[in-house]
Amino acid sequence: MVKAKVKLKLKTHRGAAKRFKLTAGGKVVGRHAYARHILTSKARKRKRRLAKDALVAPGDAAQVRRMMPYGR
């Protein structure tokens, strides 16, 4: 009797799962950089913009998608 080959499940990278999410269209959304400290020297308008979510660059998005094989 021949055993069927089992396809292994891939593990989600937990660090990536906490930092990124996938939209329904498959785009990757994350946080802006430069929004954590030394905020006194940044303009109010800039800080407001940095507080919003941002789309991850296409080159980086491919890497994030590999870390999160099942979306989220």
Q: What is the pTM of this model?
A: 0.79
Q: Provide the 8-state DSSP code for 9.
A: P
Residue 50 domain flag: yes
Task: List the CATH number of the domain containing 51.
Answer: 4.10.410.60
In a domain, 28, yes or no: yes
Question: What are the distances in angstroms from CA 57 to CA 7, 31, 50, 65, 69?
Answer: 31, 12, 15, 12, 18
Number of domains in the chain: 1
Longest dimension (CA), the chain: 71
**Is 58 a domain residue?**
yes
What are the phi and psi torsion angles at 59 (to 5°)? Answer: -65, -40
pLDDT in tens, 10-66: 999 999 999 999 999 999 999 999 999 999 999 999 999 999 999 999 999 999 999
